Amino acid sequence: MNKISLSVDDANLETLLTILNSLKSGLILNMEVNGKAKVRETRYQPKTNRVIYENESGTNDTTGKYSASAYRERLKKK
């Protein structure tokens, strides 16, 4: 097993730990930190494990609520 050592400023420690924790599970076997580090969990957790394509998202809405042309028309009316 290989080991990597990093020296990180206290100001950047939380950011680096967030990045390392978001890596693929099983990629890092053990992670140790000298000192106290507050790591915030990622706020966004997708409910599905599938890719949402652009044509399935809200930007492809044909009702006019999110379409660019309907938005431009609403701006012209104001």
Which residue in this structure is represented by tokens 């990093």?
6
Q: Which residue has the higher pLDDT, 10 or 35?
A: 10
pLDDT of residue 74: 81
Given phi > 0 = left and psi -120 to 50 = alpha, else beta, which region is 4?
Answer: beta
Supply the mean pLDDT for the chain. Answer: 76
Does residue 76 carry a pLDDT above 60? yes
pLDDT of residue 71: 78
- Distance between CA atoms of 67 and 61, rounded to whole angstroms? 6
Please name the amino acid found at residue 56: E
> Cβ(6)–Cβ(16) under 8 Å?
yes
Q: Among 4-8, 17-21, 40-44, name the one with the lowest average pLDDT.
A: 40-44
pLDDT of residue 38: 59
Residue 67's contacts (CB-CB under 8 Å, 6 or more residues apart) are 61
pLDDT band of residue 66 (cuts 50, 70, 90) is low
